[in-house]
Amino acid sequence: MTWAEVAARLAGARTYWLGTVTPSGAPHAAPVWGAVHDGTLYLYSERRTAKARNLAANPRVVVHLGSGEDVLIVSGLGPVGLLTTLFGSRMGAEVVGIDPSPERRGLAESLGARKTFDPTTAPIVEQVRAAYPDGADKLVEASGAGAAHEVIGSLLRPLGMAALVGLGSTDFKMPLGQIVHREIIVFGTSIFPTSQYDEIWRFCRRHAIAPSQVVTQRFGVEQGAEAFRLADRASTGKVCLTFDSGC
């Protein structure tokens, strides 16, 4: 493709994924607003953000045409999956949740998920493809389940992207042909670096997000055994222990 053809495609989007390199060499991706003018793509960012600091130190960059209106599948709606749902929906994505727990699916819908599916009622690929024939643009795998890993490629459209955050299984198995022939990007991440804290909290303030929105039960420390039994059922949001009954 010529640059004119690339610019024409870029001009049709409002939101872009900007990939930069952190000081440690790790990738950092973030959705940004932008516009094409006279064949040049302009992206907006405050100078104090992590992506701006990354670019100042290292000019290597990649721009993904996926918009903030992408279909995002969140596989596993525990506390991490619920937070992903909360943030993803506020970024403008159409969030689709997958979890066998009706309670967790209900929580996800209350936090912004457009649709949720129970993977135990019918093959999950058939359920998702019936609603989204082309597949999803992005997927966050938060369950760590081997069965969930195996269908990642079938849930994503070509050139889709999957982030692995769940640690329920020590092994990862996915058909290699799906990654190669569908050109899917799969990467793992554990937690955001401290360099992104300020940016994340600014986003929370702008969108009135409180992480406590995913907390469904609080117990005093003396009720720790009961709290862990409840958490082990995998049917709630975040279960917290408090040291002060007034918290």
3-64: CATH, from 3.10.50.30, 2.30.110.10, 3.30.413.10, 3.40.190.80: 2.30.110.10
DSSP assignments along 152-196, one per residue: HHHHEEEEEEEEE---S-S-----HHHHHHTT-EEEE--S--GGG
Domain spans of the chain, in order of start: 3-64, 71-194, 210-247
Which pLDDT belongs to residue 166?
A: 84
In the numeric block, which tokens belong to residue 178? 């799906």
CATH 3.40.50.300 given to domain 71-194: no
Polymer length of the chain: 247
Alpha carbon of residue 244 to chain centroid: 33
CB 68 within 8 A of CB 93: yes
pLDDT values of the chain reduced to their tens digit, one per residue, 247 residues = 677 777 777 776 667 888 999 999 888 888 788 888 888 889 888 888 889 999 999 999 988 775 556 899 999 999 999 999 999 988 888 999 999 999 999 999 999 999 999 999 999 999 999 999 999 999 999 998 989 999 999 999 998 999 999 887 778 888 888 888 888 889 888 766 677 788 888 888 888 888 899 998 999 999 999 999 998 888 888 999 988 755 4
Q: Which residue's entry shows tokens 């001009």? A: 11
Q: What angle do the packed helices 79-90 and 102-110 form, to 10 degrees?
A: 30
Which pLDDT belongs to residue 247?
A: 45
Overall pTM > 0.95: no
Which pLDDT belongs to residue 16?
A: 82
- In whole angstroms, give the CA distance from residue 77 to residue 236: 9
In the numeric block, which tokens belong to residue 88? 């993803």
